[in-house]
Chain A
Amino acid sequence: MLELAIGIILGGCALGAGCAMIAGIGPGIGEGNAVAAACEAIGRQPECKGSVTSTMLMGCAIAETTGLYALVIAILLIFVAPNLLVNVLLRALGA
Protein backbone atom coordinates (compact mmCIF):
# COMPACT_ATOMS: atom_id res chain seq x y z
CA MET A 1 0.00 0.00 0.00
CA LEU A 2 2.87 2.38 0.85
CA GLU A 3 4.53 1.60 -2.50
CA LEU A 4 1.32 2.50 -4.31
CA ALA A 5 1.03 5.79 -2.42
CA ILE A 6 4.64 6.75 -3.18
CA GLY A 7 4.15 5.73 -6.81
CA ILE A 8 1.11 7.97 -7.09
CA ILE A 9 3.11 10.86 -5.60
CA LEU A 10 6.01 10.40 -8.04
CA GLY A 11 3.69 9.95 -11.02
CA GLY A 12 1.64 12.98 -10.03
CA CYS A 13 4.78 15.10 -9.76
CA ALA A 14 6.03 14.01 -13.17
CA LEU A 15 2.62 14.58 -14.81
CA GLY A 16 2.34 17.98 -13.16
CA ALA A 17 5.77 18.98 -14.43
CA GLY A 18 4.83 17.94 -17.94
CA CYS A 19 1.54 19.84 -17.80
CA ALA A 20 3.28 22.93 -16.44
CA MET A 21 5.57 23.06 -19.44
CA ILE A 22 2.56 23.46 -21.79
CA ALA A 23 3.08 27.12 -20.91
CA GLY A 24 6.12 26.99 -23.19
CA ILE A 25 3.77 27.40 -26.17
CA GLY A 26 2.88 30.98 -25.26
CA PRO A 27 6.37 32.51 -25.17
CA GLY A 28 7.27 30.55 -28.31
CA ILE A 29 4.47 32.14 -30.31
CA GLY A 30 5.06 35.55 -28.77
CA GLU A 31 8.79 35.59 -29.41
CA GLY A 32 8.20 34.34 -32.94
CA ASN A 33 5.91 37.30 -33.57
CA ALA A 34 8.46 39.69 -32.08
CA VAL A 35 11.30 38.38 -34.23
CA ALA A 36 9.10 38.43 -37.35
CA ALA A 37 8.23 42.07 -36.73
CA ALA A 38 11.90 42.89 -36.08
CA CYS A 39 12.96 41.23 -39.37
CA GLU A 40 10.30 43.25 -41.18
CA ALA A 41 11.52 46.45 -39.55
CA ILE A 42 15.14 45.73 -40.48
CA GLY A 43 14.06 44.97 -44.06
CA ARG A 44 12.28 48.29 -44.26
CA GLN A 45 14.99 50.34 -42.56
CA PRO A 46 18.34 48.47 -42.62
CA GLU A 47 20.12 51.42 -40.97
CA CYS A 48 18.19 50.83 -37.70
CA LYS A 49 19.50 47.26 -37.36
CA GLY A 50 21.39 47.79 -34.08
CA SER A 51 18.65 49.45 -32.10
CA VAL A 52 15.94 47.12 -33.48
CA THR A 53 17.99 44.07 -32.52
CA SER A 54 18.65 45.25 -28.98
CA THR A 55 15.00 46.22 -28.45
CA MET A 56 13.91 42.84 -29.81
CA LEU A 57 16.25 40.92 -27.49
CA MET A 58 14.93 42.94 -24.56
CA GLY A 59 11.30 42.26 -25.51
CA CYS A 60 11.99 38.57 -26.10
CA ALA A 61 13.55 38.25 -22.66
CA ILE A 62 10.52 39.85 -21.06
CA ALA A 63 8.11 37.69 -23.06
CA GLU A 64 10.05 34.67 -21.85
CA THR A 65 9.07 35.35 -18.23
CA THR A 66 5.82 33.35 -18.28
CA GLY A 67 7.64 30.38 -19.78
CA LEU A 68 10.25 30.64 -17.05
CA TYR A 69 7.59 30.63 -14.33
CA ALA A 70 6.40 27.31 -15.77
CA LEU A 71 9.99 26.06 -15.92
CA VAL A 72 10.62 26.95 -12.28
CA ILE A 73 7.45 25.13 -11.25
CA ALA A 74 8.40 22.09 -13.34
CA ILE A 75 11.89 21.99 -11.82
CA LEU A 76 10.44 22.28 -8.30
CA LEU A 77 8.00 19.46 -9.08
CA ILE A 78 10.75 17.18 -10.36
CA PHE A 79 13.59 17.84 -7.91
CA VAL A 80 12.00 19.21 -4.72
CA ALA A 81 8.37 18.13 -4.42
CA PRO A 82 8.76 14.29 -4.41
CA ASN A 83 11.09 14.32 -1.38
CA LEU A 84 8.87 16.76 0.45
CA LEU A 85 5.61 14.93 -0.24
CA VAL A 86 7.01 11.48 0.56
CA ASN A 87 8.31 12.85 3.86
CA VAL A 88 4.90 14.30 4.63
CA LEU A 89 3.29 10.93 3.84
CA LEU A 90 5.75 8.99 6.00
CA ARG A 91 5.27 11.42 8.89
CA ALA A 92 1.48 11.11 8.61
CA LEU A 93 1.74 7.31 8.62
CA GLY A 94 4.18 7.33 11.53
CA ALA A 95 1.94 9.56 13.64
Chain B
Amino acid sequence: MKQKSIGFIVADVIYILMMILPFLAAITLKVLTTPLSDGVEITGARIFFTIPMPIQDLLVTESQINSLCVMIALFGLCLFLTHGLKTKNISVRQHLAEWIVEKVDKLVNDSMGNYFMNFAPFIIAILALSAFSSFTCLIGLFPPTSDINIVAGWAVLVFILITYNKLKCGPVHYLKGFAEPVAFLAPINFISEFATPISMAFRHYGNVLSGSVISVLIATALQGLSNLVLGWLPGFLGEIPFLQVGIPAVLSIYFDVFSGGLQAFIFAMLTMMYVADGFPMEEYFARKKAKQDKQH
Protein backbone atom coordinates (compact mmCIF):
# COMPACT_ATOMS: atom_id res chain seq x y z
CA MET B 1 0.00 0.00 0.00
CA LYS B 2 1.22 3.46 -0.86
CA GLN B 3 2.35 5.72 1.95
CA LYS B 4 0.04 8.66 2.62
CA SER B 5 1.51 12.04 1.75
CA ILE B 6 2.06 14.70 4.38
CA GLY B 7 -0.54 17.00 2.84
CA PHE B 8 -3.16 14.25 3.15
CA ILE B 9 -2.42 13.75 6.84
CA VAL B 10 -2.39 17.50 7.53
CA ALA B 11 -5.80 17.88 5.85
CA ASP B 12 -7.13 14.96 7.91
CA VAL B 13 -5.92 16.57 11.12
CA ILE B 14 -7.56 19.86 10.13
CA TYR B 15 -10.88 18.10 9.48
CA ILE B 16 -10.74 16.23 12.79
CA LEU B 17 -9.98 19.50 14.59
CA MET B 18 -12.97 21.04 12.80
CA MET B 19 -15.12 18.33 14.37
CA ILE B 20 -13.76 18.69 17.91
CA LEU B 21 -12.80 22.34 18.41
CA PRO B 22 -16.30 23.92 18.06
CA PHE B 23 -17.62 21.74 20.88
CA LEU B 24 -14.64 22.52 23.10
CA ALA B 25 -15.21 26.21 22.43
CA ALA B 26 -18.92 25.88 23.24
CA ILE B 27 -18.17 24.04 26.49
CA THR B 28 -15.62 26.71 27.48
CA LEU B 29 -18.13 29.45 26.71
CA LYS B 30 -20.77 27.69 28.80
CA VAL B 31 -18.40 27.17 31.75
CA LEU B 32 -17.31 30.81 31.63
CA THR B 33 -20.78 32.33 31.38
CA THR B 34 -22.89 30.08 33.63
CA PRO B 35 -23.12 31.51 37.15
CA LEU B 36 -22.65 29.10 40.04
CA SER B 37 -25.90 27.98 41.61
CA ASP B 38 -27.10 25.12 43.72
CA GLY B 39 -30.39 23.33 43.55
CA VAL B 40 -32.68 22.58 40.67
CA GLU B 41 -32.65 25.01 37.79
CA ILE B 42 -34.56 24.70 34.55
CA THR B 43 -33.87 27.68 32.33
CA GLY B 44 -34.10 28.45 28.67
CA ALA B 45 -31.13 29.25 26.49
CA ARG B 46 -28.74 31.82 27.94
CA ILE B 47 -28.67 35.11 26.05
CA PHE B 48 -25.09 36.19 25.32
CA PHE B 49 -25.70 39.59 23.76
CA THR B 50 -28.28 41.48 21.76
CA ILE B 51 -27.84 43.22 18.44
CA PRO B 52 -30.09 46.27 18.02
CA MET B 53 -32.40 45.92 15.01
CA PRO B 54 -35.15 48.18 13.65
CA ILE B 55 -38.21 46.01 14.39
CA GLN B 56 -37.01 43.82 17.23
CA ASP B 57 -33.64 43.32 18.89
CA LEU B 58 -31.76 40.28 17.61
CA LEU B 59 -30.82 37.98 20.48
CA VAL B 60 -27.69 35.87 20.16
CA THR B 61 -28.33 32.89 22.40
CA GLU B 62 -26.63 29.71 23.49
CA SER B 63 -28.77 27.65 21.15
CA GLN B 64 -27.68 29.60 18.07
CA ILE B 65 -24.01 29.27 19.02
CA ASN B 66 -24.39 25.53 19.67
CA SER B 67 -26.30 25.09 16.43
CA LEU B 68 -23.48 26.79 14.51
CA CYS B 69 -20.97 24.53 16.27
CA VAL B 70 -22.92 21.46 15.15
CA MET B 71 -22.99 22.78 11.58
CA ILE B 72 -19.21 23.34 11.53
CA ALA B 73 -18.61 19.89 13.02
CA LEU B 74 -20.87 18.25 10.44
CA PHE B 75 -19.08 20.12 7.67
CA GLY B 76 -15.79 18.76 9.01
CA LEU B 77 -17.26 15.26 9.19
CA CYS B 78 -18.44 15.41 5.57
CA LEU B 79 -15.02 16.66 4.40
CA PHE B 80 -13.31 13.94 6.44
CA LEU B 81 -15.47 11.13 5.07
CA THR B 82 -15.11 12.21 1.46
CA HIS B 83 -11.38 12.95 1.64
CA GLY B 84 -9.34 10.90 -0.80
CA LEU B 85 -12.09 9.12 -2.74
CA LYS B 86 -10.83 6.32 -4.98
CA THR B 87 -12.31 3.80 -7.38
CA LYS B 88 -10.18 0.82 -6.25
CA ASN B 89 -8.91 -0.30 -2.82
CA ILE B 90 -11.34 2.00 -1.04
CA SER B 91 -10.77 2.97 2.57
CA VAL B 92 -13.04 2.39 5.56
CA ARG B 93 -14.27 5.96 5.61
CA GLN B 94 -15.20 5.78 1.94
CA HIS B 95 -17.17 2.61 2.68
CA LEU B 96 -18.99 4.51 5.43
CA ALA B 97 -19.70 7.51 3.20
CA GLU B 98 -20.99 5.29 0.39
CA TRP B 99 -23.15 3.35 2.84
CA ILE B 100 -24.73 6.58 4.15
CA VAL B 101 -25.40 7.90 0.64
CA GLU B 102 -26.91 4.59 -0.51
CA LYS B 103 -29.16 4.33 2.56
CA VAL B 104 -30.43 7.89 2.15
CA ASP B 105 -31.02 7.45 -1.57
CA LYS B 106 -33.00 4.27 -0.86
CA LEU B 107 -35.02 5.99 1.88
CA VAL B 108 -35.88 8.95 -0.35
CA ASN B 109 -36.67 6.69 -3.29
CA ASP B 110 -38.97 4.52 -1.16
CA SER B 111 -40.92 7.31 0.49
CA MET B 112 -40.92 10.10 -2.12
CA GLY B 113 -40.55 8.40 -5.48
CA ASN B 114 -37.97 8.71 -8.21
CA TYR B 115 -38.92 12.27 -9.20
CA PHE B 116 -37.68 13.71 -5.88
CA MET B 117 -34.21 12.11 -5.87
CA ASN B 118 -32.57 15.55 -5.76
CA PHE B 119 -34.10 15.99 -2.29
CA ALA B 120 -31.75 13.37 -0.79
CA PRO B 121 -28.95 15.82 0.23
CA PHE B 122 -31.47 18.11 1.93
CA ILE B 123 -33.06 15.21 3.80
CA ILE B 124 -29.77 13.83 5.16
CA ALA B 125 -28.67 17.36 6.05
CA ILE B 126 -31.77 18.03 8.13
CA LEU B 127 -31.61 14.52 9.65
CA ALA B 128 -27.97 14.84 10.69
CA LEU B 129 -28.36 18.41 11.94
CA SER B 130 -31.37 17.51 14.05
CA ALA B 131 -29.88 14.30 15.45
CA PHE B 132 -26.49 15.82 16.31
CA SER B 133 -28.15 18.90 17.80
CA SER B 134 -30.08 16.64 20.16
CA PHE B 135 -26.94 14.65 20.97
CA THR B 136 -25.03 17.75 22.10
CA CYS B 137 -26.68 17.42 25.52
CA LEU B 138 -24.61 14.23 26.00
CA ILE B 139 -21.51 16.41 26.44
CA GLY B 140 -23.29 18.85 28.70
CA LEU B 141 -24.24 21.55 26.22
CA PHE B 142 -27.67 23.10 25.84
CA PRO B 143 -29.33 21.13 23.00
CA PRO B 144 -30.41 23.62 20.29
CA THR B 145 -33.45 21.47 19.49
CA SER B 146 -34.97 22.21 22.90
CA ASP B 147 -35.25 25.86 21.83
CA ILE B 148 -38.39 26.42 19.77
CA ASN B 149 -36.80 29.19 17.68
CA ILE B 150 -34.30 26.81 16.06
CA VAL B 151 -36.84 24.09 15.30
CA ALA B 152 -39.43 26.60 14.10
CA GLY B 153 -36.85 27.88 11.63
CA TRP B 154 -36.50 24.42 10.12
CA ALA B 155 -40.28 23.98 10.09
CA VAL B 156 -40.72 27.27 8.20
CA LEU B 157 -38.11 26.11 5.69
CA VAL B 158 -40.04 22.87 5.18
CA PHE B 159 -43.28 24.83 4.84
CA ILE B 160 -41.74 26.95 2.07
CA LEU B 161 -40.64 23.76 0.29
CA ILE B 162 -44.12 22.27 0.57
CA THR B 163 -45.76 25.41 -0.79
CA TYR B 164 -43.23 25.67 -3.61
CA ASN B 165 -43.99 22.11 -4.66
CA LYS B 166 -47.74 22.71 -4.43
CA LEU B 167 -47.37 25.76 -6.67
CA LYS B 168 -45.70 23.72 -9.45
CA CYS B 169 -48.99 23.70 -11.41
CA GLY B 170 -49.71 27.40 -11.01
CA PRO B 171 -51.56 29.42 -8.36
CA VAL B 172 -55.04 28.53 -9.68
CA HIS B 173 -54.47 24.83 -9.19
CA TYR B 174 -53.00 25.57 -5.74
CA LEU B 175 -56.06 27.56 -4.65
CA LYS B 176 -58.38 24.92 -6.05
CA GLY B 177 -56.70 22.40 -3.74
CA PHE B 178 -58.21 24.19 -0.74
CA ALA B 179 -61.75 23.46 -1.95
CA GLU B 180 -61.26 19.68 -1.73
CA PRO B 181 -63.38 17.63 -1.14
CA VAL B 182 -66.16 20.23 -0.74
CA ALA B 183 -65.98 23.99 -1.15
CA PHE B 184 -67.26 25.01 2.29
CA LEU B 185 -64.35 23.18 3.99
CA ALA B 186 -61.91 25.75 2.57
CA PRO B 187 -61.35 27.65 5.87
CA ILE B 188 -60.53 24.40 7.67
CA ASN B 189 -58.13 23.37 4.92
CA PHE B 190 -56.54 26.79 5.15
CA ILE B 191 -56.00 26.40 8.91
CA SER B 192 -54.61 22.89 8.53
CA GLU B 193 -52.15 24.23 5.98
CA PHE B 194 -50.63 26.47 8.64
CA ALA B 195 -50.94 23.83 11.36
CA THR B 196 -48.34 21.71 9.56
CA PRO B 197 -45.22 23.76 10.44
CA ILE B 198 -46.54 24.53 13.92
CA SER B 199 -47.12 20.88 14.74
CA MET B 200 -43.74 19.88 13.28
CA ALA B 201 -41.95 22.47 15.39
CA PHE B 202 -43.86 21.67 18.58
CA ARG B 203 -43.41 17.91 18.18
CA HIS B 204 -39.63 18.08 17.91
CA TYR B 205 -39.15 20.79 20.52
CA GLY B 206 -41.61 19.27 23.00
CA ASN B 207 -40.01 15.84 22.91
CA VAL B 208 -36.47 17.07 23.49
CA LEU B 209 -37.52 19.63 26.11
CA SER B 210 -39.68 17.13 28.05
CA GLY B 211 -36.74 14.72 28.11
CA SER B 212 -34.40 17.31 29.62
CA VAL B 213 -37.02 18.51 32.15
CA ILE B 214 -37.66 14.94 33.30
CA SER B 215 -33.91 14.27 33.55
CA VAL B 216 -33.40 17.32 35.79
CA LEU B 217 -36.39 16.41 37.98
CA ILE B 218 -35.17 12.83 38.45
CA ALA B 219 -31.64 13.95 39.25
CA THR B 220 -32.99 16.32 41.92
CA ALA B 221 -35.29 13.66 43.36
CA LEU B 222 -32.39 11.19 43.56
CA GLN B 223 -30.31 13.74 45.43
CA GLY B 224 -33.07 14.22 47.99
CA LEU B 225 -33.58 10.47 48.30
CA SER B 226 -29.89 9.87 48.75
CA ASN B 227 -29.71 12.47 51.53
CA LEU B 228 -32.66 10.78 53.22
CA VAL B 229 -31.43 7.18 52.92
CA LEU B 230 -27.66 7.57 53.22
CA GLY B 231 -27.57 10.68 55.42
CA TRP B 232 -26.53 8.66 58.52
CA LEU B 233 -23.07 7.92 57.06
CA PRO B 234 -20.32 9.68 59.06
CA GLY B 235 -18.64 12.89 57.93
CA PHE B 236 -18.53 13.93 54.31
CA LEU B 237 -19.73 10.49 53.14
CA GLY B 238 -23.27 11.48 54.09
CA GLU B 239 -23.18 14.49 51.78
CA ILE B 240 -22.23 12.63 48.61
CA PRO B 241 -25.37 11.75 46.59
CA PHE B 242 -24.46 8.13 45.82
CA LEU B 243 -27.84 7.36 44.26
CA GLN B 244 -27.18 9.99 41.60
CA VAL B 245 -24.35 7.88 40.16
CA GLY B 246 -25.36 5.91 37.10
CA ILE B 247 -29.16 5.99 37.30
CA PRO B 248 -29.65 9.29 35.36
CA ALA B 249 -27.29 7.93 32.68
CA VAL B 250 -29.59 4.97 32.01
CA LEU B 251 -32.56 7.32 31.60
CA SER B 252 -30.46 9.57 29.39
CA ILE B 253 -30.08 6.70 26.90
CA TYR B 254 -33.83 6.80 26.33
CA PHE B 255 -34.52 10.51 26.66
CA ASP B 256 -31.48 11.88 24.86
CA VAL B 257 -30.18 9.21 22.48
CA PHE B 258 -33.29 7.26 21.49
CA SER B 259 -35.78 10.12 21.61
CA GLY B 260 -33.42 12.57 19.91
CA GLY B 261 -32.61 10.16 17.10
CA LEU B 262 -36.23 9.14 16.65
CA GLN B 263 -37.42 12.75 16.49
CA ALA B 264 -34.76 13.56 13.88
CA PHE B 265 -35.90 10.60 11.80
CA ILE B 266 -39.55 11.60 12.16
CA PHE B 267 -38.84 15.20 11.19
CA ALA B 268 -37.11 13.98 8.03
CA MET B 269 -39.85 11.43 7.26
CA LEU B 270 -42.60 14.04 7.69
CA THR B 271 -40.71 16.48 5.46
CA MET B 272 -40.56 13.83 2.74
CA MET B 273 -44.20 12.86 3.19
CA TYR B 274 -45.57 16.39 3.12
CA VAL B 275 -43.48 17.46 0.14
CA ALA B 276 -44.31 14.33 -1.86
CA ASP B 277 -48.02 14.56 -0.97
CA GLY B 278 -48.23 18.24 -1.79
CA PHE B 279 -46.79 17.82 -5.27
CA PRO B 280 -49.59 17.42 -7.87
CA MET B 281 -47.83 14.58 -9.71
CA GLU B 282 -50.49 13.51 -12.26
CA GLU B 283 -51.53 17.03 -13.19
CA TYR B 284 -47.91 18.16 -13.56
CA PHE B 285 -46.93 15.32 -15.88
CA ALA B 286 -50.16 15.61 -17.87
CA ARG B 287 -49.42 19.31 -18.48
CA LYS B 288 -45.80 18.59 -19.35
CA LYS B 289 -46.85 15.96 -21.88
CA ALA B 290 -49.46 18.26 -23.41
CA LYS B 291 -46.81 20.98 -23.76
CA GLN B 292 -44.41 18.59 -25.50
CA ASP B 293 -47.14 17.35 -27.86
CA LYS B 294 -47.91 20.94 -28.79
CA GLN B 295 -44.30 21.66 -29.68
CA HIS B 296 -43.95 18.63 -31.97
User: Real complex partners, A and B?
Assistant: yes
Given A64-B207, A79-B42, check contact A72 B202 (CB 8 Å): yes
Q: Which of A61, A62, A65 has most B Cβ within 10 Å?
A: A61
The answer to whether the Cβ of B213 comes within 8 Å of any Cβ in the partner chain is yes
Asked if B42 and A68 make an inter-chain contact with CB atoms under 8 angstroms apart, the answer reads no
Asked if A68 and B210 make an inter-chain contact with CB atoms under 8 angstroms apart, the answer reads yes
The answer to whether the Cβ of B263 comes within 8 Å of any Cβ in the partner chain is yes
Contact of A68 among B207, B213, B270 (CB under 8 A): B207
Nearest chain A residue, comparing its CB with the CB of B204 = A68
How many B residues, CB 8 Å from partner? 15
Docked complex Cα distance between A57 and B266 (Å):
9
- Main secondary structure, interface of A, reads helix
Nearest chain A residue, comparing its CB with the CB of B267 = A61
Task: List, in ascending order, chain A residues with CB within 8 A of B213's CB.
Answer: 75
CB distance from A34 to the nearest CB of B (A): 14
Docked complex Cα distance between A69 and B199 (Å):
8
CB distance from B197 to the nearest CB of A (A): 13
The answer to whether the Cβ of A71 comes within 8 Å of any Cβ in the partner chain is yes
Task: List, in ascending order, chain A residues with CB within 8 A of B262's CB.
Answer: 57, 61
Task: List, in ascending order, chain A residues with CB within 8 A of B270's CB.
Answer: 62
When each residue 47-63 of chain A gets 1 if its CB lies under 8 Å from chain B and 0 otherwise, what string results?
Answer: 00000000001100110
Given A68-B207, A71-B210, check contact A61 B263 (CB 8 Å): yes
Asked if B269 and A69 make an inter-chain contact with CB atoms under 8 angstroms apart, the answer reads no
> Which B residues from 172 to 214 make CB contacts under 8 A with A?
199, 202-203, 205-207, 209-210, 213
CB distance from B40 to the nearest CB of A (A): 12
Task: List, in ascending order, chain B residues with CB within 8 A of A65's CB.
Answer: 199, 202-203
Asked if B266 and A61 make an inter-chain contact with CB atoms under 8 angstroms apart, the answer reads yes
Q: Which of A57, A62, A68 has most B Cβ within 10 Å?
A: A68
CB distance from B87 to the nearest CB of A (A): 33
Task: List, in ascending order, chain A residues with CB within 8 A of B42's CB.
Answer: 79
Docked complex Cα distance between A60 and B106 (Å):
23
CB distance from B34 to the nearest CB of A (A): 18
CB distance from B192 to the nearest CB of A (A): 13
Docked complex Cα distance between A75 and B213 (Å):
9
Task: List, in ascending order, chain A residues with CB within 8 A of B207's CB.
Answer: 61, 64, 68
Docked complex Cα distance between A35 and B38 (Å):
41
Task: List, in ascending order, chain B residues with CB within 8 A of A64's CB.
Answer: 203, 207
Docked complex Cα distance between A69 and B174 (Å):
29
Docked complex Cα distance between A68 and B206 (Å):
6
CB distance from A38 to the nearest CB of B (A): 15
Nearest chain B residue, comparing its CB with the CB of A72 = B206
Docked complex Cα distance between A71 and B202 (Å):
10
Docked complex Cα distance between A58 and B205 (Å):
16
* The 5 A-B residue pairs with the shortest CB-CB distance in the complex, in nearest-first order: A68-B206, A61-B266, A65-B203, A72-B206, A71-B206
Listed by A's residue number, 30 A-B pairs whose Cβ atoms lie within 8 Å are A57-B262, A58-B266, A58-B269, A61-B203, A61-B207, A61-B263, A61-B266, A62-B203, A62-B266, A62-B270, A64-B203, A64-B207, A65-B199, A65-B202, A65-B203, A68-B202, A68-B203, A68-B206, A68-B207, A68-B210, A69-B202, A69-B206, A71-B209, A71-B210, A72-B202, A72-B205, A72-B206, A72-B209, A75-B209, A75-B213
